[in-house]
DNA sequence: CACCAGGTCTCTC
DNA sequence: GAGAGACATGGT
């Protein structure tokens, strides 16, 4: 999600220790990878998004977002990479998130020849606080270190067996992981569809289109939106997020 | 030089 | 449990 580079004709994308190139050619995309099966799953290519969009079209205030984000797919990312990435994302902007993650790869990732892998949890667990500060993580350095140790010791081992709410609480027991980050990890790392990551942008959407209570917290918004969208929550969130994020200012970053 | 960024933590009451 | 402030860092 945060490890991609635009090229003349497409994108270079990195996940874990793997690489994938995308070339846009008229109406189709050519994928080349050292691990095509992995990236078919990564891009969620086997899923029928047409029926998801059809189901979502019955909901209020989504028509425009569905059209705007017609090519959206929910990525299946590596769970550990997702944990570290979204710890970094908190109270941060996208260019800097990408920069920090790049530096973490440069400093701690395995050398794959043409690029560096995302660092493993056990490698990050052996990093020093000052090394993590050097990567620009700031006050999140200790969160990363703690999460790295926990994951190395099996923290994520049983997560896929837990129901969503149990898994969410489990993730939130780590410092640096609150409700929003936990929901992102569940959505992008475990493809849990019954979460609604609620950040500043979704909060704005909520207040504009879906507000039921006058003054409610992000947690309450997420709960209400989940109740409304059920197992389509994760998808609805992505369409709404992408739409507002691209059409409201700050789109200079992309 | 303030203010902000895909929030969370830590204190209070 | 709800409500303020702090929080590294880099960009505007």
- pLDDT tens across A192-239, in order? 999 999 999 999 999 999 988 778 999 999 999 999 999 999 999 999
Of A190, A211, A233, the domain-final residue? A190
Residues A196 and A236: their CA atoms lie apart, in Å, by: 8
> Which residue's entry shows tokens 């409304």?
A228
Per-residue confidence (pLDDT) for residue A251, from 0 to 100:
46
- Whether A239 is covered by a domain: the verdict is yes
Query: Which entry of A16, A103, A161, A180 is annotated as an active-site residue?
Result: A180
Closest protein residue to C7 (Cα–C1'): A139
Of A190, A206, A226, the domain-final residue? A190
Residues A205 and A103: their CA atoms lie apart, in Å, by: 33
Is A180 designated active site? yes
Say if residue A68 is in the same domain as residue A83: no
**Span CA (A181) to C1' (C9), Å:** 20
Closest nucleotide to A218, Cα to C1': B7
**Span CA (A223) to C1' (C12), Å:** 35
Rg of chain A taking only CA atoms, in angstroms: 18
CB proximity A130–strand C (7 Å threshold): no
Say if residue A120 is in the same domain as residue A203: no
Say if residue A94 is in the same domain as residue A115: yes
3-state secondary structure of A18: strand
Say if residue A94 is in the same domain as residue A138: yes
**Span CA (A233) to C1' (C11), Å:** 33
Say if residue A226 is in the same domain as residue A152: no
Per-residue confidence (pLDDT) for residue A115, from 0 to 100:
96
- Which residue ranges in chain A fall short of pLDDT 50? 251-254
Say if residue A236 is in the same domain as residue A154: no
Say if residue A102 is in the same domain as residue A180: yes
Q: Which domain holds residue A105?
A: 79-190
Closest nucleotide to A92, Cα to C1': B5
Which H or E run includes A39? helix A36-42
**Backbone angle region of A148, left / alpha / beta, with phi > 0 → left and psi within -120 to 50 → alpha:** alpha
Say if residue A184 is in the same domain as residue A85: yes
**pTM of this prediction?**
0.96
Say if residue A85 is in the same domain as residue A181: yes
The answer to whether A112 and A105 have CB atoms below 8 angstroms apart is no
Nearest 5°: phi and psi at A203? -60, -40
């Amino acid at each position: 999600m945060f490890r991609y580079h635009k090229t003349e004709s497409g994108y270079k994308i990195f996940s874990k220790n793997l690489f994938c190139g995308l070339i846009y050619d008229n109406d189709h995309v050519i994928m080349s990878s050292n691990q095509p099966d992995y990236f078919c799953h990564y891009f969620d290519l086997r899923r029928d998004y047409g029926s998801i969009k059809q189901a979502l079209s019955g909901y209020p205030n989504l028509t425009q977002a569905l059209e705007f984000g017609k090519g959206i797919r929910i990525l299946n990312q590596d769970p550990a990479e997702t944990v570290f990435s979204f710890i970094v994302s908190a109270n941060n902007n996208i260019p800097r998130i990408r920069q920090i993650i790049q530096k973490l790869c440069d400093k701690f990732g395995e050398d794959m020849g043409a690029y560096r892998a995302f660092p493993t949890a056990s490698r990050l667990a052996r990093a020093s606080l000052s090394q993590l500060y050097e990567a620009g993580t700031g006050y999140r350095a200790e969160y990363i270190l703690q999460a790295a140790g926990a994951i190395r010791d099996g923290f994520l081992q049983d997560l896929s067996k837990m129901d969503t709410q149990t898994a969410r609480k489990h993730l939130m027991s780590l410092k640096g992981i609150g409700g929003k980050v936990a929901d992102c990890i569940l959505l992008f790392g475990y493809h849990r569809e019954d979460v609604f990551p609620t950040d500043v942008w979704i909060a704005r959407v909520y207040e504009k289109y879906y507000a039921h209570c006058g003054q409610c917290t992000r947690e309450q918004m997420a709960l209400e939106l989940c109740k409304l969208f059920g197992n389509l929550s994760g998808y609805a969130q992505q369409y709404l997020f992408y739409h507002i994020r691209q059409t409201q200012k700050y789109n200079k970053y992309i």
